[in-house]
Amino acid sequence: MESLNQDIENHYFKEDLYGDIVNRLKEQNIDLNKVKRSDIADADEFHVRGAAVSKELANSINLNGLDVLDIGCGLGGPCRMLAEEYNCQTTGIDLSNEYIRTADKLSKLVNLSNKTTFIQGDAASLPFADNAFDVVWTQHVQMNVPDKKAFYSEINRVLKVGGHFLFYDILKKEDGEINYPMPWASNANLSFLFKAEDMDNLLKEFGLTKEQSADQTQAGIDFFDSLVAKLKEFGPPKMGLNVLMGDTTKPKLMNLLTHLKTGGLELKSGVYKK
């Protein structure tokens, strides 16, 4: 597991991400003392449909003022959105030291450090007490985690009774070969895709109740189609997922788009209650 986690951390690693983001802000003549969340939102939400889908997920329950844990928080964009727009106290945990360092600095940059805390750690073994959070949130993370039982049992353990688990995820729809690289895995050794019904069965086993579920696949395809058109016309944006994926952005996004279109993979979101 140690070496798998190291390989996953290496997969996501990009040197001096914060410095790169700051340079990109400067190139757009954005005053570093006045950076807004929207200036960095295209780079700090590492999932299909970025900030828009996070807002939808946030609006699926009333989470004003609640304590939220984001599992696999990446650069912390969703935590900052929940902190600023919903007055949540947020904690993000991620395997990547570089992402956690960057998340901390980005929160300082937009003056949200008092409402966001970022911790390096493994989702399969969370360093939090039982019943610690009102809401547990995760987007596009479990594909990197082989032990699904550990992943979802930890979510259940740290969630308060009466609290909500919110997810937005990439799931396997049909058996069959997957082409890599994907945004979460350069090759099949880092990827542990499973099906929505298996996730649902696991969560029910732990006693969670499904309250909402939505198929997000078509919305994801539409998003990618318009992104591809924009890339063709204007080239890579100053602030976008290319900040995180560099030269490999195009093959990764095209592989994901192809599998969404041909039905091998699907995008789903949902809400469960403990």
Q: Which residues contribute to the site for ligand SAM (CB under 6 A)?
A: 8, 12, 45-47, 72-74, 77, 93-96, 99, 122-124, 139-141, 144-145, 183-184
Query: Which residues have CB under 8 Å from 271's CB, separation 6+?
Result: 60, 61, 164, 165, 166, 210, 211, 212, 213
Write down the least CB distance from residue 29 to ligand SAM, Å. Answer: 26
CB 100, min distance to ligand SAM, A: 9
**Minimum CB–partner distance for residue 198 and ligand SAM (Å):** 18
Nearer to ligand SAM, 71 or 203 (CB): 71
Cβ-closest position to ligand SAM: 74
CA-CA-CA-CA dihedral for 176, 261, 210, 60, to nearest 10: 150
Handedness of CA 51, 56, 59, 61 (dihedral sign): negative
Cβ-contact 179, 259 below 8 angstroms:
yes
Q: DSSP letter string over 202-258?
A: HHHHTT-EEEEEEE-HHHHHHHHHHHHHHHHHH-S-SSSTHHHHGGGHHHHHHHHHH
Cβ-Cβ contacts under 8 Å for 229 (sequence gap 6 or more)? none
Nearer to ligand SAM by C-beta: 134 or 154?
A: 154
Q: What are the backbone dihedrals phi and psi of residue 192, each rounded to the nearest 5 degrees, phi first?
A: -135, 70
Report, in Å, the least distance between residue 88 CB and ligand SAM: 16
Closer residue to ligand SAM in complex, CB, 16/229: 16
For residue 233, the minimal CB distance to ligand SAM (Å) is 26
- In Å, how far from its chain's centre is CA 112? 19
Q: What is the CA radius of gyration of the chain?
A: 18
> Least distance (Å) from ligand SAM to the CB of residue 50?
8
Measured from the CB atom, is 37 or 234 closer to ligand SAM? Answer: 37
Q: Is the Cβ of residue 83 or residue 93 nearer to ligand SAM in the bound state?
A: 93
Cβ-based nearer residue to ligand SAM, 185 or 203: 185
